[in-house]
């Protein structure tokens, strides 16, 4: 994974699967940030779970974390959405659009899905993002 070569520490990250383009960019940024940094050899490397006082992962601590956390519900932004008297699938659609979790062309391209272009399928004028598709498209 990493090694000493000619008195220099070389970071060589190995992965179990091929990375997406975006991940490769992040890896290059990480390698750049790690340049000149060397590990401390006299410390034992270990994982610490911040959600438990002992630093140990437990199913209970994970459950408590997940049950108290609602992604995207920062400052209660989505509480009114869930109280609307509309079909659950419409609530779910709105929630996905607000969080930009809708499979627009731009999001698909960001996940390395090959498309001919990112233009909106309806107007062909702007890139297809959720905000444009649901709010601004002619």
pLDDT in tens, 60-75: 887 777 666 555 455 5
Pairing of strands 2-5, 8-11: antiparallel
The CA R_g of the chain, rounded to the nearest whole Å, is 22
Residue 41, domain member (yes or no)? no
Domain enclosing residue 66, as ranges: 48-74
More confident residue, 109 or 1: 109
Contact 102, 94 (CB under 8 A): no
Q: Give the predicted TM-score (pTM) of the model.
A: 0.44
- Alpha-carbon torsion, ordered 66, 96, 81, 75, to 10 deg: 50
User: Could you tell me if residue 94 is inside a domain?
Assistant: yes
Examine the domain organization and report whether 60 and 84 are in the same domain: no
Q: Assess whether pLDDT exceeds 70 at residue 54.
A: yes
Residue 39 lies in a domain: no
Does 57 share its domain with 98? no
Task: Report yes or no on 69 lying in a domain.
Answer: yes
Q: How confident is the model at residue 8 (pLDDT cuts 50, 70, 90)?
A: confident
**How many domains is the chain partitioned into structurally?**
3
**In terms of domains, do 86 and 103 share one?**
yes
């Amino acid at each position: 994974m990493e090694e000493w070569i000619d008195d220099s520490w070389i970071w060589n990250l190995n992965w179990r699967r091929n990375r997406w383009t975006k991940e490769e960019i992040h890896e290059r940024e990480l390698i750049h940030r790690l340049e000149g940094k060397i590990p401390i050899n006299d410390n034992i490397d270990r994982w610490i779970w911040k959600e438990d006082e002992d630093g140990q992962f437990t199913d209970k601590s994970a459950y408590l974390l997940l049950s108290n956390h609602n992604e995207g519900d920062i400052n209660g932004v989505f509480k009114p959405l869930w109280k609307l008297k509309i079909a659950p699938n419409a609530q779910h659609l709105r929630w996905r659009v607000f969080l930009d979790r809708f499979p627009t062309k731009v999001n698909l391209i960001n996940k390395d899905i090959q498309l001919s272009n990112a233009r909106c399928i309806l107007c062909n004028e702007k890139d297809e993002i959720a905000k444009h598709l649901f709010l601004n498209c002619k």
